[in-house]
Amino acid sequence: MIRTDWTRDEIAVLFDLPFDELMYQAQTVHRAHHAVGEVQLCTLLSIKTGGCPEDCGYCSQSVHADSGVKATKLMDVQAVLQRAAEAKDAGSQRFCMGAAWRNPKDRDMDAIVAMIEGVRGMGMETCMTLGMLTPDQARRLGAAGLDYYNHNIDTSPERYGDVITTRSFAERLDTLEQVRAAGINVCCGGIVGMGETREDRVGFVHALATLPRHPESVPVNALVPVKGTVLGDMLADTPLAKIDDIEFVRTVAVARIAMPLSMVRLSAGRESMSEATQALCFMAGANSIFTGDKLLTTGNRGDSADAALFAKLGLKAMAAEEPMRARVCEAAE
Ligand code: SAM
Ligand code: DTB
Ligand code: SF4
């Protein structure tokens, strides 16, 4: 059953289950709604890197961080399409384009629209993450055929202000509403391992699972600690704050149970995650990953390591998931 009326207590009870029972419930939900052993492959490209005015404490691209990431201009449309073609050849189904902006400027929109149309023309799904959107910008992206917009809540509403001060949780929700109103599928998740408490992880999953409609994609990132960022430096100083692998898997499992139809993406942080932990995440209901050897500014596992892991675990790439998405939207009406 698809529920958007979860209570915080119910989510907390799931987190508290004995691990075996939690995994059993997550697998049962997963098998009822998704093909077993199939994983969606997505590729990320940073189309505009660094120099971002926001102060997200985890991010290498913020001007408030001293991470050494160089700011670039928006990439040329043809260069983006070239990278999309390479990703398609490597077997990727979705091409996700990210820009380090607080919000897009209207003067950027023509190029953004050309990127969406070009990537769609190749037969790949498109996803963009460009920061906050006005209703008009969201409509333009929708009209261009954008399939997904990624906009994360990142953490619990209570913890949000400790991680980011330059925009509010409410502003995040507002952009998500604009995206929905424009008929674009929502990709929304966050980061675990930022030194947050179990209660924050409960609040994070609860906030996602009680949105008016569940996001069609839920990226669960494990913090990639970057030197020179507030949170990267905090974790380097207090190694005990690092999240336990089993607790990470629990978060994936609870997300799967609370949002049965969503694609749960095991996102940033796989490079430093053991194969055994990743296997547990897939068993817990994660069914999507970022492929390739780079995320936006940090490293990713790379395709040959992933191919070896898929062979070991008997996983295979999912075919395009158009019917699944239609079902998600209908089910949550
Ligand atoms: N600027 C846009 C925005 O924030 O909406 C889009 C790009 S932003 C890099 C996309 C997401 O990447 C963030 O919301 C965060 O969840 C994730 N992210 C960024 N840096 C990360 C890190 N060091 N470790 C894990 N996830 C990270
Ligand atoms: C998301 O939730 N994770 C991706 C995507 N959405 C845009 C980004 C991960 C970024 C990891 C840090 C970096 O490479 O800079
Ligand atoms: Fe900017 Fe996005 Fe990084 Fe925040 S997460 S600093 S908004 S690029």
φ and ψ at residue 329, rounded to 5 degrees: -65, -45
* Amino acid 90: pLDDT: 87
C-alpha span between 97 and 111 (Å, rounded): 12
With a cut of 80, say whether residue 187 has pLDDT above it.
Answer: yes
Q: Is 187 a residue of the active site?
A: yes
The pLDDT of residue 237 is 87
**326 pLDDT above the threshold of 80:** no
Q: Answer yes or no: 56 catalytic.
A: yes
Strand positions, DSSP E, the chain: 38-48, 94-99, 125-129, 148-150, 185-187, 190-192, 217-222, 263-266, 288-290, 316-317
CA gap 35, 222 in Å, rounded: 25
Local confidence band at 327 (pLDDT 50, 70, 90 cut-offs): very low
In the set 42, 83, 94, 96, the catalytic residue is 96
Q: Is 223 in the pocket of ligand 1 (CB under 6 A)?
A: yes
The whole-number pLDDT of residue 329 equals 43
Exposure string over 245-271, b if 16+ CB within 10 A, otherwise e: beebbbbbbbbbbbbbbbbbbbbbbbb
155 lines ligand 1 (CB under 6 A): no
Q: What's the pLDDT tens digit per position in 211-250?
A: 999 999 999 999 999 999 999 999 888 887 889 999 999 9
> Which residue in the block uniquely carries the two structure tokens 């698809």?
2
* Residue extents of the structural domains in the chain: 8-317
Q: Tell how far the Cα of 105 is from the centroid of ligand 1, in angstroms.
A: 19
pLDDT of residue 48: 98
CA distances from 192 to 159, 167, 196, 220 (A): 12, 20, 7, 7
- Tell me the two tokens of residue 270: 């796989």
Distance 330 CA to ligand 3 centre (A): 32
Average pLDDT over residues 8-20: 98
Q: What is the pLDDT of residues 133-174, one digit of tens each?
A: 999 999 999 999 999 999 999 999 999 999 999 999 999 999
The reported pLDDT for the residue numbered 321 is 55
Mutate to test the pocket of ligand 2, among 221, 265, 291 (most ligand atoms within 8 A of CB): 221
Q: Quickly tell me which residue has 């201009």 as its tokens.
A: 73
- Going by DSSP bridges, is the β-strand pair 125-129/94-99 parallel, antiparallel, or unpaired? parallel
Q: Is 265 a catalytic residue?
A: yes
Note the helical H segments in 34-168: 77-89, 109-121, 135-143, 157-163
Per annotation, catalytic residue among 94, 140, 265, 270: 265
Q: How high does pLDDT run on average in the chain? A: 94
Pocket test for ligand 3, best of 59, 194, 221 (most atoms within 8 A of CB): 59
The CB of 100 under 6 Å from ligand 3? The reply is yes
- Confidence check: pLDDT of 332 > 70: no
Query: Does residue 325 have a pLDDT over 70?
Result: no
Q: Which atom of ligand 1 is nearest to the CA of 224?
A: 24
For ligand 3, atom 2, name the residue with the nearest CA. Answer: 100
pLDDT tens for each residue of 255-304: 999 999 999 999 999 999 999 999 999 999 999 999 999 999 999 999 99
Query: How many other C-beta atoms lie within 10 A of the C-beta of residue 70?
Result: 9
| Residue 52, marked binder | yes
Of all residues in the chain, the percent with pLDDT exceeding 90 is 90
**What is the per-residue pLDDT for 240?**
75
Q: Mutate which of 101, 127, 141, 152 to test ligand 1's pocket (most atoms within 8 Å of Cβ)?
A: 152
DSSP structural state of residue 73: P
Q: Is 96 a catalytic residue?
A: yes
pLDDT at 333: 43
Ligand 3: does its nearest atom lie under 6 Å from the Cβ of 133? no
Please write the tens of the pLDDT for every residue from 83-99: 999 999 988 889 999 99
- Ligand 2 centre to CA of 268 (Å) is 6
CA 69, CA 203: separation in Å to the nearest integer? Answer: 32
127 marked ligand binding residue:
yes
To the question of domain 8-317 being in CATH 3.40.30.10, the answer is no
Token code pair at residue 56: 């997200």
320 confidence band (pLDDT: 50, 70, 90) = low
Listed range (16-25, 86-95, 111-120, 252-261) with the worst mean pLDDT: 86-95
Q: Does residue 52 have its Cβ closer than 6 Å to ligand 3?
A: yes
Identify the pLDDT of residue 194.
95
Q: Which of 83, 140, 187, 270 is catalytic?
A: 187
Known catalytic membership, residue 281: no
Q: Residue count of the chain, please give it.
A: 333
pTM: 0.95
